[in-house]
Amino acid sequence: MNIDPIFRSRRSNVLATRGMVATSQPLAAQAGLSILQAGGNAADAAIATAAMLNVVEPISTGIGGDCFALYFDAATRQVTALNGSGRAPAAAAITALTSLGYTKMPTFTGHTVSIPGAVAGWSDLLARHGRMTLADVLQPAIWTAEHGYPVSELIALGWRTQEKKLRRDPDWLSGDIDNGPPQPSGYELLLDGRAPRPGEIMRIPTLAETLRGIAAEGKDYIYRGDFARKLSEHVQRYGGWITPADMAAHTSTWDEPITADYHGVRLYECPPNGQGLAAIIALNLVAGYDLAALTPADRLHVLIEAMRLAFADAQQWVCDPRAHPIPLQELASRAYADRRRQRIDLQRAAQNAPYGSPLAGSDTVYLSVVDGDGNACSFINSLYMGTGSGLVAPGTGVSLQNRANLFVLDPEHPNALAPNKRPYQTIIPALTTYTEGEFAGALHASFGVMGGYMQPQGHLQMMVNLLALGMSPQQALDAPRWALAGPGDGLGAHDEGGLVFIEEGWDFTVLAELARRGHHLAPVTGFARSTLGGGQIILRHPENGVLTGGSDPRKDGCAVGW
């Protein structure tokens, strides 16, 4: 088969009018729906879903990580972007790492733990857009962490890959110079010292207690007091720099989204330090082609080459713009895409893709919520690399992220490690509105595709599937995918000979033609398909308010509505 509109899903779309939640675990989706049914809006339901995901999928997300959100306010038709990512500690220093023998950022040491921004992000989203309090929306997660839940299948499989990291086993080879001592607190996220199996009941009482503290005291419970002290002491035990003062200094930020127009809709992405810029650049590049009219091989070739160029730019320019200026307006412009598009050879894969200069010329969870009034929240929350650093703050049930791994140790690079600076972030939500006709400005869709460097590639593929190829949400998610290997996957996305992971389901003649053009294809089958991301899409019909939802078959989740 190919990816033309004749592609048919085996799973139906979910249809509703009063509200919908879509995410990677059914209990989390139902937690969000219960909040909608209790009178909450899209923001309230999003945080309830995110908190429940922390309980039922703690190997991917949680209090010790970061979050980003795009929120569509139906009354004003405005889209706001929340950056809930943390910064490097005040004592972070490149020289401290190079003196230890590191030539690039370590992966799982305490040095890689940046300030966790998730809970501040939860609180700030509710304060600006919600109707409920943290105490209201955390109740489903608190009950489930305390009383337990049966572990779902794919999450159990992923959990098993994190056992040695959580225990800090002596034979665990992380690739870092020093893995640090064994970690008794890692057992808080294990069942009898091992990962829970599918269907086993998992309780996390220490996490329940932490969530209960947040419900009672708000975000200060995390950033001031005993929790901040426990976190800081544990990170320092493994070489890191975080102090209670770093925790107390953390703040979220509200930013102006970046956009690209395509087939009558406007794509919104959070600006850097997130990699949404890569999706914007790639979409602007492919807007110069009539993709529906191309052969499947030509279409796939164009998409891959556009993404290769977009990644080259993202790897050079994405950083904390408050620490290093970025020519953002130029990078996101159609004029820049018109110049960069000249580098795409329709008959040959690029042997290298240097970044452009406009001045001169894994794991994550994603969730989508749309309420009955048409408000929408596209929300993403992550620890990075499964349980992140694998460090669990003792007595809290909270895994700590390793987002600082995404800094570089070249002091001249825009994304160089520096004090109080945010690193390159892979996690990005997406949202679209109509740009033409009587419904201009109305919500079109709330969607996202989680999974490291897959995320902007997933956003590009969903936009093309929905708009150029006319697929429904479930159809768009079910269609076979491709993915350029990211910098952490071996060969870089824009390096010479960079790999293209290709999912089962593509027509052999299409793959043969891609290989003839010089693409290095690596087939992906079975459970490994999860490396191609897990997406959720909710589309809203502007005339009658009907919500159409799809949920990725590569994950355990679903879309639920009422």
User: At 441, is the secondary structure helix, strand, or coil?
Assistant: coil
Phi, psi of 209 (to 5 degrees): -65, -40
C-alpha 334/C-alpha 341 separation (Å) is 10
Q: Tell me whether strands 520-524 and 499-503 are parallel, antiparallel or unpaired.
A: parallel
Active site residue ranges: 364
Q: Which of 11, 366, 32, 56 is nearest to 202 (CA)?
A: 56
Q: Which helix (H) or strand (E) holds 151?
A: none
Query: Which residues are bridge partners to 364 per DSSP?
Result: 382
- Give whole-number Cα distances, 535 to 473, 523, 557, in Å: 10, 20, 10
Q: Which of 475, 501, 363 is nearest to 62 (CA)?
A: 363
Torsion of CA 21, 458, 105, 115, to 10 degrees: -20
DSSP structural state of residue 526: G
DSSP structural state of residue 511: H
Q: Is 239 left (phi over 0), alpha (psi -120 to 50) or beta?
A: left
Q: Tell me whether strands 430-434 and 443-450 are parallel, antiparallel or unpaired.
A: antiparallel
C-alpha 83/C-alpha 68 separation (Å) is 5
